[in-house]
Amino acid sequence: LFSSRFVGINASDINYSAGRYDASVKPPFDIGFEGVGDVVALGLSASADYTVGQAVAYLKAGSFAEYTVVPAKHAVPLPSVKPEFLTLMGSGATAHISLKELGELSEGKKVLVTAAAGGTGQFAVQLAKKAKCHVIGTCSSDEKAGFLKSIGCDRTINYKTENVESVLRKDYPEGVDVVYESVGGKMFDLALNSLATKGRLIVIGFISGYQNPTGLPPIKAELLPAKLLKKSASIRGFFLNHYLSEYKMALKHLLEMYERGDLVCEVDFGDMSPEGKFTGLESVFRAVDYMYMGKNIGKIVVELPHSVNSKL
């Protein structure tokens, strides 16, 4: 049994609660994908590997709860209960594994990261920089651009004040080699058109469509075969669940980087949101709204205070 202290907010929470990931799951069902906290009780099989009070993280559906039963195989031991560790569970691992397996990064490659100041974008920027790439990040405010510069982004594009297409055409006439794309819609079309010869576009998500009835933003895909052929380019989809064999190693690597001070894990508790910090399960819906308004810098995390009159 696990007591949650921090839970992570993901763009895909809306897709899951709308029944798009698994149509066979009928409401009511538990939502939320990841949590960090401590062990409060152990089943027999878990007592060999875990102790009561130990800090653990886990990645499984149903994390928006104060107490959760977590199978031992889904738990990851942590040095301490810190919200920064939560950022690595889904967001950091997604960036790490997708860029390693699909990005084929090498020194000097030009990498475009969309929604670069978001929960997973922040890691794509840093990991691409560590691979000695030139990194371009799109974002929606000057404050986000400042954050991106602080984590090593070479060129930031605030799409509210600059035209992304003309910046890319003017500054990168040869195109970009890799795109880490999680916005979809117009941004996907633009990224596709900006690919270099043999360029690779990795689809991490398409948040611009999640809130509409189908969950899909419209894209101009009719010319897709011709565009890919002309550039020998490719589009690869990435869904973390299909790469769980790589997960433990990726997480170990990210945790070591963070502990060494080589990785910024930016957490946004919503302190700047209209009603203040996201505290308690009742603030989860505010946190999701805050993300969809494009306000967050880094990973949105909700803190669950320890209840003194807990029913356990």
Q: How far apart are alpha carbons 99 and 253 in whole angstroms? A: 14
| Tens-digit pLDDT profile for residues 79-128 | 999 999 999 999 999 999 999 999 999 999 999 999 999 999 999 999 99
Q: What residue segments make up the domains of the chain, in order of their start?
A: 2-81+266-303, 90-241
CB contact set of 146 (below 8 Å; sequence gap of 6+): none
Determine the angle formed by the axes of helices 164-171 and 186-193, rounding to 10 degrees.
10
Residues facing 56 on adjacent strands: 37, 77
> Is 303 within 8 Å of 122 (Cβ atoms)?
no
Q: What is the pLDDT of residue 306?
A: 76
- Give the residue among 217, 305, 292 at the shortest CA–CA distance from 9: 292
In the predicted structure, residue 44 carries a pLDDT above the cut 90: no
**3-state SS, residue 153:** coil
Q: How far apart are alpha carbons 56 and 76 in whole angstroms? A: 5
Question: Is the alpha carbon torsion for 206, 211, 216, 220 positive or negative?
Answer: negative
Task: Output the CATH code of domain 90-241.
Answer: 3.40.50.720
Residues facing 310 on adjacent strands: none
Q: Give the distance, in angstroms, between the CA of residue 133 and the centroid of all CA atoms in the same chain.
A: 20
Residue 311's pLDDT band (cuts 50, 70, 90): low
In the predicted structure, residue 309 carries a pLDDT above the cut 70: no
Predicted model pTM: 0.96
Residue 232, amino acid: S
| Tens-digit pLDDT profile for residues 180-211 | 999 999 999 999 999 999 999 999 999 999 99
Q: How far apart are alpha carbons 82 and 56 in whole angstroms? A: 10
CB contact set of 168 (below 8 Å; sequence gap of 6+): 112, 136, 176, 190, 194
**3-state SS, residue 123:** helix
- Give the residue among 119, 182, 117 at the shortest CA–CA distance from 144: 117
Q: How far apart are alpha carbons 3 and 305 in whole angstroms? A: 10
pLDDT over 70 percentage in the chain: 98
Q: Give 240-278 as a DSSP string.
A: GGGGHHHHHHHHHHHHHHHHHT-----EE--TTSTT-S-
**3-state SS, residue 146:** helix
Q: So what's the architecture of 2-81+266-303 in CATH?
A: Alpha-Beta Complex (3.90)
Fold agreement between 2-81+266-303 and 90-241 = no
| Tens-digit pLDDT profile for residues 12-34 | 999 999 999 888 888 899 999 99
In the predicted structure, residue 60 carries a pLDDT above the cut 60: yes
Q: State the SS3 of 69-115.
A: CCCHHHEEECCCCCHHHHHHHHHHHHHHHHHHHHHCCCCCCEEEECC
